[in-house]
Amino acid sequence: MEEEVARKGKIFSGIFWKFSERISAQLVTFVVSIVLARLLDPSDYGMIALIMVFISIADVFVSSGFGSALIQKKDADNVDFSSVFYFNIVFSMSIYLLLYLIAPYIAKFYSMPMLCPTLRILGIRIIIAAINSVQQAYVSRNMLFKRFFWSTLFATLLSGVVGIILAFLGFGIWALVAQYLTNTVVATIILWFTVRWRPQKAFSIDRMKVMFSYGWKLLCAGLMDTGYNQIRNLVIGKLYSSKDLAYYNYGQQYPNLIVTNVNTSISSVIFPAMAQEQDDKVRVKSMTRRAINIMWPMMAGLCVVAKPLISLMLTDKWLPCVPYLQIACFTYGFWPIHTANLEAIKAMGRSDLFLKLEIIKKIMGVSILIIVMKHGVMAIALSLILTTVLSSVINALPNQSLLNYRYTEQLKDMLPSMMLALVMGVIIYPIAIIGLGNVVTISLQILAGIVVYVVGSKIFHFESFDYIRLIIKRLHKN
């Protein structure tokens, strides 16, 4: 019993530190972005956004696949970590060389001469990220998520200061290049000195073959996911106006900010936790069950406060993005059920199923987009609801046999949290009608929403709520 409680405490502690890392980084980045936006020209941001498309795709090659394989492999030792470390360095250099050579052609294609030198300099980040990916795998496997918090926080702070100083001195786009590059370098250096792991003089081709058989499927899935996530923006930008794209993007931004931080925190912790328990299907199922209920209260609350929040943060000229934000809240509410099912599949060693699911979902998503894309931006946004629901069914199907956890059972587990979140939203919505001003309205709605959901969770004895409360008490005693 004590071992079980300790294990739960370790998982919750990991989620706490990972969530703290994401929130602190986002807060610092948000403040820095406001300052930089006042100092730099919008064209600088546009060029960096374009460069980051290529950097992000290259990052998938060096950061996906082997990192997950190191976490998932039950008997992974220093030979495995060292082999991946040396392979990543050589492979990332090859990717960087390719990017270096094609940079002039990319710059010519987009008629942006400055894109060539900036892409070549910022591309160095790929090699550093390759080193960092092995460090992150070691930290995740050993549940040392507190290390992530400090490395990310200091890296974000220092890179923000560097970016602001260079922008103030008139370095333009190079201020953003320095900010991104400094962030990766500092985070890697801090992990190097705070994590005990060091590569040894060992490389095993046989070990790499074993991990490659698992990791290449996740790599392909990551590439598909990265490309797929850009399709809707490309379609809206091509078929409709820049304003339509701006409203759609900002509608996605706020729920995405919450979900990305929470989801990243959960997936970063739950995957190594599941991997450690992969032989105990009952425990893996229990972890999956607890992870699917966390998003609905936040999404329901954000949906209700959307209008006063947008008016306060972005002024009334951005109010057309509110409907897109509210649609996004519903679609993002399903994300934990996606994450929990996929992480369980990965933890059970079935990366082949993971890849197959990604192929099926991407084909389905693109097909639906092709059908609706000429019917307006709102049709594109609404199509995400259908895509999300169907994807959640597809992700859950393998766990019917792997964990004996049917989708109907998952919906049954999720429905009480979803319904309570809906009731919470209905109760707090009338506060906006009183006309107390945006700040007071949002504050009262958030406070009332927390009270309603906590009281409701306690009355109906939600397992996930009782679980978190138990672990908090245990951590407090320690």
Residue 403: what pLDDT? 65
Mean pLDDT along residues 77-88: 84
pLDDT of the residue at 367:
92
pLDDT at 275: 53
pLDDT of res. 389 = 85
Is it the case that residue 217 has pLDDT exceeding 60? Answer: yes
Q: 263-315: per-residue pLDDT in tens?
A: 655 555 554 555 555 555 555 555 555 555 567 788 888 888 888 887 777 67
61 vs 180, which has greater pLDDT?
180
In sequence order, which residues have a C-beta less than 8 Å from that of residue 164 and are 6 or more positions away? 32, 35, 36, 39, 175
How many distinct helices (H) and strands (E) make up the chain? 20, 0
Of residues 385 and 6, more confidence is placed in: 385
The pLDDT value given to residue 100:
93
pLDDT the model gives residue 17: 64
Can you give the pLDDT at residue 262? 64
pLDDT band at 414 (very low <50, low <70, confident <90, very high): confident
Q: Confirm whether 262 is domain-assigned.
A: yes
Mean pLDDT of 157-164: 88
Residue 337: pLDDT over 80: no
Mean pLDDT value of segment 155-163:
87
pLDDT higher for 36 or 85? 85
Give the least confident one: 90-99, 390-399, 407-416, 461-470: 461-470
Of 236 and 114, the structure prediction assigns the larger pLDDT to 114
Q: Shortest CA distance to 297 belongs to which of 329, 324, 268, 319?
A: 329
Q: Per-residue pLDDT for 317 more than 70?
A: yes
| Rounded distance between C-alpha atoms, residue 292 and residue 46, angstroms | 36
Task: Confirm whether 137 is domain-assigned.
Answer: no
pLDDT in tens, 202-211: 888 887 787 7
How many whole angstroms separate alpha carbon 65 and alpha carbon 295?
27
The residue behind tokens 């397992």 is 463
Task: Give the separation between CA 471 and CA 364, rounded to whole angstroms.
Answer: 40
Give the Cα separation of 340 and 196 in Å (integer): 30
Give a yes or no: residue 4 inside a domain: no
Please answer whether residues 336 and 263 qualify as being in contact, where contact means their C-beta atoms are separated by less than 8 angstroms: yes
Mean pLDDT in the chain? Answer: 75
Whether 253 is covered by a domain: the verdict is: yes
pLDDT over 80 at 11, yes or no: no
Per the structure, the complete domain to which residue 251 belongs is given by 231-478
- Whether residue 379 has pLDDT greater than 90: yes
Q: How confident is the model at residue 97 (pLDDT cuts 50, 70, 90)?
A: very high
Q: Most confidently modeled of 137-151, 237-251, 292-306? A: 292-306
Report the pLDDT value the prediction gives residue 453, as an integer from 0 to 100. 80
pLDDT at 323 over 80: yes
pLDDT confidence of residue 101: 94
Domain-located, residue 59: no
Evaluate whether 331 touches 259 at the Cβ level (below 8 Å): no
Distances (CA, A) of 359 to 163, 224, 228, 356, 368: 39, 8, 11, 5, 14
441 is a domain residue: yes
Q: Give the amino acid at 476.
A: H
Select, from the ranges 5-9, 109-113, 375-379, the one with the highest average predicted confidence (pLDDT). Answer: 375-379
C-alpha distances (whole Å) from 35 to each of 38, 162, 419 are 5, 12, 41
pLDDT band at 232 (very low <50, low <70, confident <90, very high): confident
Buried b (16+ CB within 10 A) or exposed e, 227-246: eeeeebeebbeeebeeebbe
Better-predicted residue by pLDDT, 281 or 232: 232
Q: Which residue has the tokens 């001469």?
A: 113
In-domain check, residue 221: no
Q: Which residue would you say has higher pLDDT here, 306 or 220?
A: 306
The least confident of 90-94, 140-144, 262-266 is 262-266
In 3D, which of 393, 397, 59, 21 has the Cα closest to residue 225? 59
pLDDT tier for residue 475 given thresholds of 50, 70 and 90: very low
Predicted local confidence at residue 211, as pLDDT: 75
CA 165 to chain centre: 29
Q: Tell me how many domains the chain contains.
A: 1
3-class DSSP state of 240: coil
Query: With pLDDT > 70 as the criterion, what percentage of the chain qualifies?
Result: 70
Among 90-99, 213-222, 234-243, 373-382, which is the least confidently predicted range?
Answer: 234-243
213, part of any domain: no
